[in-house]
Amino acid sequence: MSEQSDLNDKTLNAFRRVEQHFHHVEDYRRQGSIKHKLIHIIFFTLCAVTAGANDLVAVSAWTEANANWLRDLFKLKYGVPSLSTFRITFMLLNPESLSKCFLDKAH
């Protein structure tokens, strides 16, 4: 197995765990205009923060820097989310619901 294939497998396994843990977070975005799954936005943000991002500008920069890999791995029809998509999504998320995911994981 190649190093890239191993990384992809580990990333997809991590994604599945995050998806299971965050599946109940409600998406308040306008349903007719959504191009990116909420779970992708959450997962990309977690990856970027783990890599050192400390705000949404840095999260967006991380996703842009990894765009080709993310697009191929997650079959992103519309590419990676833009900075405005990250901002709008996090403005609309219920903070209690998101906090609960982190608190539940900690216990």
Give just the sign of the alpha carbon dihedral 100, 82, 57, 46. Answer: positive
User: 29 by DSSP, 3-state: which?
Assistant: coil
Domain boundaries, the chain: 3-19+38-106
pLDDT at 105: 58
Burial of residue 98, with CB atoms counted within 10 A of its CB: 0-12 exposed, 13-18 middle, 19 or more buried? middle
pLDDT at 101: 81
Going residue by residue through the chain, which has 107 residues, state the pLDDT in tens, using 9 for 90 and above.
688 788 889 988 888 988 988 888 988 888 888 999 999 999 999 999 999 999 999 999 999 999 999 999 999 999 999 999 999 999 999 888 888 887 775 55
Q: Does the predicted TM-score (pTM) go above 0.75? A: yes
CB-based burial, 10-40: b 16+ in 10 Å, e otherwise: ebeeebeebeeebeebeeebeeeeeebebbb
